[in-house]
A and B are shown apart, each in its own frame.
Chain A
């Protein structure tokens, strides 16, 4: 029953898409500056249909209706309610439906929020947006239908992979999708803008809201994924340069570039074509990311279950997208001269864009190279994390410098009267690091330079804040984001230098001495939970230098459906460091393997990323009020 209803609603959504494309095309030919009421109504109905279809899938999950293959394969009656709900998007079909729901909602919002924009521009955007929606819907219906039926109906489902049963991972995909799919709006708007010549600062104002929104969600989404990896995968790392992670980072670079360059378009009506290119690239990169993740051609540690026909469809879809946007770009792109002043604010923003593109290319090469090599030589390789660090880290130094230099510059002109002050700040940063160096003796030149320049950025941004107070003109979102970025780089560097890690095998009741620590596995408790059994280890860590104790309780969980063992890390955090212990046991051996880590500033790393996002979010608020 639910299956039929669900299929009905997605078919209706697809029909509304066709109707919207048709009526928008008709509306383009008519005179008058108003969009026909009919289009608004269809758009609302379409939105209602997709939300209903999603709601039906949700109900099927909550009430464990195993007549749907999708529910059977990914859910189980004993699963807690939260994970029944998050199970909806914990798999390919459901997440594709979520993707479409967001596409449709954004399409409706765009239509309603931009009443002041040109009519033709809005209609064309709607057409492109609905072409995208139909493309994904056809993919869903023909290849990945979450409403496919199963007969005979099984009594019990196969369950959701336990390591996906986690609050951070429950919200991670929706957040990332808001980012990925948010970029579809400015993709459509960019194409519409080329065709209708609705360009310049008006165009910039229209898409700015969407760029910021998608960027904000992308930032927070990446953070949620990273936090999850940190405490669930049990390695104590938070970023692995894994292809799947990379594919969420690459659109982020482009969005960040776009956030900055759109300011030039808004204030100075320049670099229009570059903004268009970035808008098109961002969504293309988002779909590429999805393609890489879902097609299974990536040799990734994440390895989702997947099948090649999906990849083929997305690849075809992607190619059509790229070639048609290239065609539209070359057919309609206006030729306009740029007028740039060396060392003006525009100049620094473009430098930011160059760096973003550089980071993007580095990550893209690292991600795609294994695939290309496998195709030409059948050799399977992966690219180690040091590649990314070695290539990108040196470039962080000039990048940090320019980030601190940019906000001081003026629009249009190259005036700068802060030379002396800049030098003082730099001098001060060097002194701080020298003092730091005296105590820690970190010999790596590169990391010391990065530390110097991250402090330089932090100090400069604080000075920027005081200048703002003097002028009584606040650019709080820039200050917060830049400051947080400076802190992020600083904390990550410190974290990478001072993290310590010990691996040891202990029997129940044993203790062992390592450097300054004494680690004891005091005893083990076995407890039964709703859908798993857990062994909790009582671990005592004694810091002999400071004479302090810490009690940690890492767990080994044995889930019953599907039968899986997971290791839950026990983490004690404070502002300065995390103490991190995971415990594992193999084939009932009497030895328990403990991994003990001290990781400085983890909380502050997360906070920095949150504040980077908060900066962007603040920019959204006044914009909404202005309208």
Chain B
């Protein structure tokens, strides 16, 4: 009796564990395909193995005076105060998008200087600064 009960318990345990492992593997595989790397213009400039077919996010500040708009797209420059990247975007920018403020753009790189954005993300906080820019600004203060 006891042996049978123990066997049953082991079976259940093995079944549960393998199920969990399967789920974990499945999640991680999907996760790997859906990761968006977050880069600053400087990181893009210095990076050697960029994947131009994969979506990434670029964060920085909208350079003052760089925004231009025409019938179907918006162009602007994202800067982290040491390097810049041109961004072109078709669509609606969120609240709090403006010159001199923080921005995160999601899309694909054309080359190291040119970025095609599919989405511009909102930042809730008007005092938000991209971390890399903040580092640089703080360095200047010191």
A positions within 8 Å CB-CB of B: 161, 163-164, 232-235, 299, 301-305, 358, 361-362, 365-366, 369, 379-387, 390-391, 503-505, 562, 564-567, 582, 584, 586-587, 589, 591, 593-595
Contacts and interface: CB of A to CB of B under 8 A. Distances in A.
Contact of A505 (B69, B104, B121, B122): B69
A448 to B, nearest CB: 21
A504 B126 CA distance: 26
B24 to A, nearest CB: 8
B92 A301 contact: no
Contacts of A381: 35-38
Interface residues of B, number: 43
Interface string B46-76: 0000000001010000000001111111100
Given A380-B38, A387-B31, A234 B121 contact: no
Contacts of B39: 380
8 contacts: A233-B94, A302-B124, A369-B31, A504-B72, A567-B94, A586-B67, A587-B67, A587-B99
B127 to A, nearest CB: 6
Contact of B91 (A361, A366, A564, A595): A595
B120 to A, nearest CB: 10
A391 B30 contact: yes
B140 interface: no
A387 B125 contact: no
Nearest to A564: B126
Contacts of A589: 67-69
B108 interface: no
B127 A382 contact: no
B124 A304 contact: yes
Nearest to B23: A358
Contacts, number: 127
Interface of B: 23, 26-28, 30-31, 33-39, 55, 57, 67-74, 90-99, 104, 121-128, 131
Nearest to B26: A391
Nearest to B127: A305
A124 B2 CA distance: 39
B35 A383 contact: yes
A299 B121 CA distance: 12
B36 A235 contact: no
A534 to B, nearest CB: 14
A286 B105 CA distance: 31
A197 to B, nearest CB: 26
Contacts of A584: 92-93, 97
Contacts of A591: 69-71
Contacts of B69: 505, 586-587, 589, 591, 593
Given A233-B122, A304-B124, A566 B95 contact: yes
A588 to B, nearest CB: 10
Nearest to A384: B34
A593 B92 contact: yes
B104 to A, nearest CB: 8
A234 B93 CA distance: 9
Given A301-B121, A369-B31, A384-B55, A503 B92 contact: yes
Given A382-B57, A586-B74, A591-B69, A390 B34 contact: yes
B122 A384 contact: no
B75 to A, nearest CB: 10
B7 to A, nearest CB: 16
Given A303-B125, A505-B70, A589-B69, A384 B35 contact: yes
B122 A301 contact: yes
* Interface hub of B34, B39, B121 (most chain A Cβ within 10 A): B34
Contact of B90 (A358, A379, A503, A564): A503
A223 B71 CA distance: 37
